[in-house]
Structure 1
Amino acid sequence: MADQPSEHEIELDDTYISKSARKREMTTLQKLGEDLLNLPADQFSQLPLSNQLREALDLAKRLKQREARRRQFQYIGKLMRSENHQQIAETLARFEDDKRFFRQRFQRLEIIRDKLIEDGDQALNELINNHPELDRQHLRQLIRQARKEIATDQAPAKKRKLFRYLRDTLQS
């Protein structure tokens, strides 16, 4: 009995972590590893990862068998313990915020484009008042072409052209 620590000693010891807590932490690190696997190559290269972890993630991408992937993710979780996983998680969160920002901007531009096509001059005047750098004549031409395209049930090439013009000229 003297060899085993009492409950009071365990509560005072800051280094003691229960087995369940360790499992939860490992599961979190494995999930972080899976998130790393789903990143595009340009974002993946920006992460502060060791070569060993990069190789383990590359191997996990190539594995197809379910059990082999599960074991590989356990190994990745083990490697993640020695990495700065807080910094990696923050970088992933920043990537996600950037993605959300671009998605919202894309949706805003789609709404503007659709409003221009539907409402015509009223929406155009409102947009020009807010963004005087836009070329009114060119916009009017693009809107007219997009309307004609919709009326004849053609492929939405002119709508895309209008969208690209808005995307390139509106920097907000």
Structure 2
Amino acid sequence: MVAPRKNKDVEESFDIEEDIEFLSKTQIKAQANALQKLGISLVDLGASELAKVPLDSELLDAIMLARKILRKKEGYRRQLQLIGKLMRSRDVVPIEQALLNIKSAHKKANNAFHKIEELRDDMIAQGDEKIEATLAEEPLLDRQKLRQLVRQANKQKAENKPPKASRELFKYLKEIMIG
């Protein structure tokens, strides 16, 4: 009998398998914790925000169940672990991207509110000068209404009354500038 010869193709296939990266137990746990934290952020979302995230029915059901469980109970922790386990078998990149978009929208809204607050405070402090500069940038604003609200806000501030006119000015600026 002739001894079988070594097949070079078989030896090359073993070389390819050596290139596969194996994860340590610590790395696997870190990934599981990251997925569980992602699951927590999904559970904490509002209903309208959760609707914007691409989730399959099984994962969505697990998230909805976690919302019903009291947070201080052991069942909540186990449900979060289940959500993390379910997420291991799914592509989480679209979910992470949707969460980033939601957070980005919140940031933009907060920044817009802060800018309007600063504008309102500057109008109250600087008066007509700031009103005219703002009207140059935002022609839809009503000059007379702005002046009236600024005068009322300054009067209320001087009399130590609640800042009702200041709030109205903010509301008016927000309505016209943001919509």
Q: What runs of 5+ residues in structure 1 fail to find an aligned partner?
A: 1-7
The letter of the residue matching 1:145 is Q
1:39 maps onto 2:39 in alignment: no
Question: Separation in 2 of the partners of 1:40 and 1:155?
Answer: 33
Question: Separation in 2 of the partners of 1:152 and 1:139?
Answer: 20
The letter of the residue matching 1:158 is A
Aligned pairs for 1:145-164 (under 5 A) are 145-164=152-171
The letter of the residue matching 2:80 is F
Question: Separation in 2 of the partners of 1:28 and 1:87?
Answer: 15
2:64 maps to which residue?
A: 58
- Deviation of 1:50 after TM superposition, in Å, equals 1.5
Question: Separation in 2 of the partners of 1:154 and 1:15?
Answer: 68
Deviations for 1:61-120, whole angstroms, at most 9, x for unmatched residues? 222244322211111001112232111001101111111111111001000000101111
Deviations for 1:48-69, whole angstroms, at most 9, x for unmatched residues? 1112111211221222244322
2:10 maps to which residue?
A: none
Q: What runs of 5+ residues in structure 2 fail to find an aligned partner?
A: 1-13
2:24 maps to which residue?
A: 18
State which of 116, 129, 132 in structure 2 corresponds to 1:125: 132
**Preserved CA contact (<8 Å) 1:60 1:72:** yes
Question: Separation in 2 of the partners of 1:138 and 1:36?
Answer: 44
**Preserved CA contact (<8 Å) 1:49 1:83:** no
User: TM-score, normalised on structure 2?
Assistant: 0.83
**Preserved CA contact (<8 Å) 1:29 1:81:** yes
Q: How many residues align?
A: 165
State which of 68, 74, 80 in structure 2 corresponds to 1:73: 80
- Deviation of 1:151 after TM superposition, in Å, equals 2.3
Question: Separation in 2 of the partners of 1:95 and 1:82?
Answer: 23
**Preserved CA contact (<8 Å) 1:50 1:83:** no
